[in-house]
């Protein structure tokens, strides 16, 4: 891709403007009450390239609740910590089910389909809780290192809101424990999981933090190895097949990038060898993915020819 930065900024601005009428096509997540208070008309885009250039438009520097985008970071930490043994406890198949579904977990004896649905992320949270003496601090410290700033925080309102409306996640964790696939105490696991979901970050911070996945595991800004090339490949593969939940097939079909959504309205999309796109717009479609975000990532990928399947 050889667009210069000024052109890219103009293109992103035009794409964002073209979506102004589409906020009403989705609904802001309200099953976590604190998220329902977010202004549905806020929206931003950031594109970070591994050559060091970052472009942003709209509310790209405004922090929002990263929610399930945190599952990507938790997964990398767990892979680094326990290696291939992780894959004896969680699969790498798309679920074809809503992100918080419990049905499949019973049929499949407490082994989650993949690490980015809620059951899989709770399993990863168990690994982190069991293998770090202070897993929440370790998670925050990892995020701060990747974002290049200490100013990354947990939104305590969102955390409390998740904790008091977390019965479905608790049910997933207890079901896995009944099958012997969970080691730590469930309240500790839930506390870790809700903490990582409640981290607030901006599009710009998220895009820059994930550059290592576009660069074979190495952070291009510092040359620090964040994960092995093999694990970067594996995470991107899982994001391609499962990162957009039961819209992952359609997203691969129409966009063609590894991506992860969160019910805060964020989407990150990895462009291997180039960089990371992050969009934010809170109203969600029926799959829990941002309506405008899906449109924007699709339009950016199309406009710049970024699909990995070309």
Between 110 and 262, name the residue whose CB sits nearer to ligand DON. 262
Collapsing DSSP states into helix, strand and coil, what is residue 16?
A: helix
Contacts of 99 (CB under 8 A, 6+ apart): 68, 117, 118, 245, 288
Active-site option among 245, 260, 281, 291: 245
x/- mask, ligand DON, residues 146-165, rule CB under 6 A, reads ----------------x---
Q: Are 280 and 7 in contact (CB under 8 A)?
A: no
The span from the CA of 58 to the CA of 65, in Å, is 17
Q: How far is CA 42 from the centre of its chain?
A: 19
Q: Does 99 bind ligand DON (CB under 6 A)?
A: yes
Return the residues of window 265-304 that contact ligand DON according to CB under 6 A.
288
Q: Which of 221, 213, 282 is nearest to 243 (CA)?
A: 213
x/- mask, ligand DON, residues 67-86, rule CB under 6 A, reads xx------------------
For residue 159, indicate whether it is catalytic. Answer: no
Q: Are 196 and 125 in contact (CB under 8 A)?
A: yes
CA distances from 207 to 2, 49, 137 (A): 19, 9, 22
Q: Are 260 and 247 in contact (CB under 8 A)?
A: no
Active-site option among 38, 47, 60, 68: 68
For residue 245, indicate whether it is catalytic. Answer: yes
For residue 174, indicate whether it is catalytic. Answer: no
CB of 70 to ligand DON, least distance (A): 8
For residue 193, indicate whether it is catalytic. Answer: yes
Count residues contacting ligand DON (CB under 6 A)?
A: 12
Active-site option among 11, 71, 177, 216: 71
Residue from 118, 181, 191, 195 touching ligand DON (CB under 6 A): that is 118
Q: Which of these segments, 178-186, 220-228, 257-265, 275-283, binds ligand DON (CB under 6 A)? A: 257-265
* Residue bearing tokens 């370790």: 138
Active-site option among 263, 271, 292, 294: 263
Angle CA(11)–CA(71)–CA(16) in degrees, nearest 5? 15
Q: Does 263 bind ligand DON (CB under 6 A)?
A: yes
Residue from 49, 197, 270, 296 touching ligand DON (CB under 6 A): that is 197
Q: Does 100 bind ligand DON (CB under 6 A)?
A: yes
CA distances from 190 to 13, 125, 238 (A): 39, 8, 23
Residue from 261, 268, 282, 283 touching ligand DON (CB under 6 A): that is 261
Q: Does 15 bind ligand DON (CB under 6 A)?
A: no
Q: Which of these segments, 16-24, 209-217, 222-230, 256-264, binds ligand DON (CB under 6 A)? A: 256-264
Between 13 and 22, name the residue whose CB sits nearer to ligand DON. 22
φ, ψ of residue 48 to 5 degrees: the values are -110, 130
Q: Is the dihedral of CA 57, 60, 62, 65 positive or negative?
A: positive
Q: Is the dihedral of CA 195, 201, 206, 210 positive or negative?
A: negative
Report residue 166 as tokens: 């977390």
* Residues found near ligand DON in the complex (CB under 6 A): 67-68, 99-100, 118, 162, 169, 197, 261-263, 288
Active site residues: 68, 71, 193, 245, 263
């Amino acid at each position: 891709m050889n667009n210069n930065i000024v052109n890219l900024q103009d293109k992103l601005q035009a794409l964002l403007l073209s979506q102004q009428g589409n906020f009403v096509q989705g609904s802001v997540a309200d099953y976590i009450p604190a998220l329902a208070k977010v202004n549905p008309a806020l929206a931003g885009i950031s594109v970070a390239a591994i050559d060091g250039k970052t472009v942003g438009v709209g509310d790209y520097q405004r922090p929002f609740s990263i929610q399930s985008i945190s599952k990507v970071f938790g997964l990398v930490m767990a892979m680094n910590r326990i290696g291939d043994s992780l894959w004896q406890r969680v699969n790498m198949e798309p679920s074809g089910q809503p992100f918080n579904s419990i049905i499949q977990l019973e049929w499949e004896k407490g082994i989650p389909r993949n690490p980015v649905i809620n059951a899989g992320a709770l399993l990863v949270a168990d690994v982190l809780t069991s293998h770090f003496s202070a897993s929440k601090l370790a998670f925050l410290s990892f995020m701060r290192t990747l974002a290049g700033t200490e100013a990354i925080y947990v939104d305590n309102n969102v955390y409390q809101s998740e904790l008091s409306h977390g019965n479905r996640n608790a049910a997933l964790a207890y079901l896995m424990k009944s099958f012997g696939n969970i080691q730590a105490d469930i309240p500790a696991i839930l506390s870790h999981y809700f903490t990582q979901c409640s981290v607030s970050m901006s599009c710009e911070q998220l895009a820059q933090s994930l550059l290592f996945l576009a660069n074979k595991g190495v952070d291009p800004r510092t040359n620090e190895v964040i994960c092995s090339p093999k694990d970067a490949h594996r995470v991107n593969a899982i994001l391609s097949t499962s990162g957009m939940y039961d819209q992952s097939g359609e997203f691969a079909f129409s966009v063609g990038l590894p991506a992860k959504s969160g019910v805060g309205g964020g989407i990150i999309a990895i462009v291997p060898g180039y960089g990371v796109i992050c969009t934010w717009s809170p109203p969600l479609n029926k799959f829990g993915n941002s309506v405008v975000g899906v449109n924007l990532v699709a339009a950016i990928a199309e406009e710049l020819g970024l699909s990995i399947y070309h």
